[in-house]
Each structure stands twice: as C-alpha cells, then as structure tokens.
Amino acid sequence: MKFTNLGQDKHKARRFVYRHILRLERLKLLEKVTEKSLTKPKYQKTSQFSKTKWNTAIKGSELESEPIELKHQKENRFFPKITLQKRLEQCESDFLACIHEFETYKNLCLDYPHLADSLLDIQRKTKTQSSKLVGEIRAIKMALTLS
C-alpha cells in the first residue's frame, strides 16, 4: 500500500488487489479454486506463474508489474517493423547456413563417393529447407513494405 496512491482506503485497496487478481487469472497465471464450505473463492498459482519473469516498476505513484513476456508481446504489436526486421535477419542468416550446408554435402559427395547415397537424403532435406526459407524471406519483405 505504501507504493501506491491508495493511502489507507481499504475499499480502494480491495479493488486494486481484485483487479490484479482478475488480470493474472486472464493470463492463466492464477486459477480460482472454489470449495463448497467456503463462501469466498481462493486463488492458486499455476505452474506458469513460477516460470514467469516479472518486470516491476513504480510509475508515477502506482506500483506496476507485468510478466516480461507480456511486455514483449505488447512491443511486438506496436512496433511490427522492428520485429519483422529481426525476423528477416534471422531467416536470411538461416538461409545462408542452409546454402552452405547444401554445398558442403555436394562437395562431400564428390570427395567421398561411397557416402553419396547416405548424404543424398539429407541434401534434399536441406534444399527443401532453403526453399521454405526463401518463401518466408519474400513474405517478410512484403510485410515490411506494407507496414
């Protein structure tokens, strides 16, 4: 209560806590446990709650905390160009690795003909993967031009 602007008002404090409980429940970090003998529900942490990393900060006169993953999701929603650019760079890097891998298999088949049969299947898979990456790169570039 000392980190918020609620002061000593119990009614405001109860609403503040309940609002955050509902938010955590929507995020699947808490689950409601109801028992017939109790009139008020209890809340229990889920396994996802323990795995979540938290970003806690005091903004203005209120304490704010949210899962770091949620913060990244919000950033991705508001800044798609940055996210798409990072994804494009990763795809291009993966594509170059696939091309190099394909060429290496090709050279290995020439240098070691007895391995050619066993390497052909892997070489085909690498070629298919590089084709998929080309498609993904084109799609991301199109999305970048539209954003």
Per DSSP, the three-state class of 135 is helix
Q: What is the pLDDT of residues 72-128, one digit of tens each?
A: 555 555 567 888 898 899 999 999 999 999 999 999 999 999 988 888 889 999 999
**Domain locations along the chain:** 10-67, 79-146
Q: Are 68 and 54 in contact (CB under 8 A)?
A: yes
Beta bridge partners of 63: 58
Residue with tokens 């950033």: 75
Per DSSP, the three-state class of 1 is coil
Q: Is the pTM of this model over 0.75?
A: no
